Amino acid sequence: MFIWSQIIFILCFLLAIFFFVRNVGRIRKNISLGQDINRSDNKKARWKQMGRVALGQGKMTTRPIAGILHIVIYAGFILINIEVLEILLDGFFGTHRLFLPYLGQFYGVLIGFFEVLALLVFVACILFLTRRFVSKISRFHSAEMKGWPTKDASYILLIEIVLMVALITMNASDHILLHHFNPPISSRISVLFANLSSADLALIERTAWWFHIVGIFAFLNYLPFSKHFHIIMAFPNTWYASLESSGKIGHMESIDNEVKMMFAPEQANPNIAPPESFGAKDVNNLAWTSIMGAYACTECGRCTDSCPQNQTGKKLSPRKIMMDVRDRAEELGTFQRQNPEKENDGKSLHDYISQEELMACNTCNACVEACPVLINPLEIIVEMRRFKIMEASQAPSEWNGMFSNIENNGAPWQFSPADRDQWTKDLEE
């Protein structure tokens, strides 16, 4: 019986790992659709940035309630996995409470610590659900959150609640059976099982044990299809995030070089080839870091909530921008895998994101500052604008007038350089 249990467990484990690796590989290929960009400089600063923002949750507490609840779930997720390690080893070797004989009384202390964390995670998940569906915080009910995004958030919270209940139930029944440890939470719940036979208790314990570990395997393979993949992607995204000032807008080196060739040839680099296109028509024209940012997006809505254009009723939502990039990367990646001889399905990122959204942005950088995992929607907006203006010639009429003035007069205003100081002549000295 034990051998068959081990075999089934090992098969479940191997299948879970196989499908997870395959799905992560799919996402990796989608990210690699983007343009190459070097973000491997200054490794010391990057490790520090990742440690502060991703590991240390440095930007989450700017909104204290959500930040503290998130840290509770994050800490629980990390530390409770130590107990999961024991469950995995028990499954592989056919043992039961493998660490108990080696840790003695400390084992009860350790399990007690995990149970307190499990209870806190349970409470935090309940409060998150309350914030979404009872308090109805507005940023969770925007247009882009209809349908799957709302269901996705609910599913993951419910899964975590069920997993914590299974963990406590497993410990409660085992507490009566073993009497070798006294966990603070499950020992109080165990009174519900006090009148059950040993066989029934063993059945409850085994059922909860299998439910918990298989639930974790299922959760692992749910992540790549969920916005909760940010649990993993937040770390590389913060590591590869730009170390430049967050308000700095990058320029096109090729265009910069063309200007130098006209006005300062000695400063130009003759080895820089002219660009094949300007800006971003599709996700494969974006930097790969921008696509990775889309997969790291938590859909928390802090960016949209901070956007002054969104607050004044404009259609722009930085969160939707990131969600659209992720959806388009998935669509294009799937198409290319199914049609290896073709590069494009005839669609573009502009089919997802309208000109109205792009032109509403005033590049204030509020969305970038608000993001808890250093995602930069502004980079995407700027690149898509460049395509609209420089390739598709679809700039708003007001902008065309400004561009013409800059070209002819060297300034946005409709005055020649010689006439710009005329207004000063009537001033009293």
Instruction: Indicate the pTM of the whole model.
Output: 0.88
Indicate the residue among 172, 205, 232 that finishes a domain: 232
What is the predicted pLDDT for the residue at 405? 86
Both 281 and 228 in one domain: the answer is no
Instruction: Please tell me whether residues 75 and 189 are part of one structural domain.
Output: yes
The sign of the torsion formed by the CA atoms of 269, 271, 274, 276 equals: negative
In a domain, 6, yes or no: no
Q: Please check whether residue 85 lies inside any domain of the structure.
A: yes
Cβ contact 358:378 at 8 Å = no
Number of domains in the chain: 2
Residue 271 lies in a domain: no
Residues 221 and 304 in one domain: no
How much is the pLDDT for 396?
Answer: 84
pLDDT of residue 408: 82
- Do 325 and 195 fall within a single domain? no
d(CA 236, CA 24): 13
Q: Are 220 and 71 in a shared domain?
A: yes
* 399 and 302 within one domain: yes
Query: Residues 92, 206: one domain?
Result: yes
| Per-residue pLDDT at 429 | 55
Q: Which domain range does residue 71 map to?
A: 63-232
Residue 391 and residue 285 share a domain: yes
For the CA atoms of the chain, what is the radius of gyration? 28
Residue 322 and residue 201 in one domain: no
Q: Measuring CA to CA, how many Å separate 239 from each of 48, 71, 381?
A: 8, 20, 22
pLDDT of 333 reads: 94
Task: Please list the rounded mean pLDDT of every run of 10 residues in the chain (429 residues).
Answer: 82 96 96 91 93 90 87 84 87 89 85 90 93 88 90 92 92 83 83 88 92 93 92 94 82 78 80 79 94 95 94 94 96 93 90 94 93 94 92 85 84 78 70
Residues 228 and 296 grouped into a single domain? no
- Is residue 305 in some structural domain? yes
* Same-domain status, 288 and 378: yes
Domain match, 394 and 294 both? yes
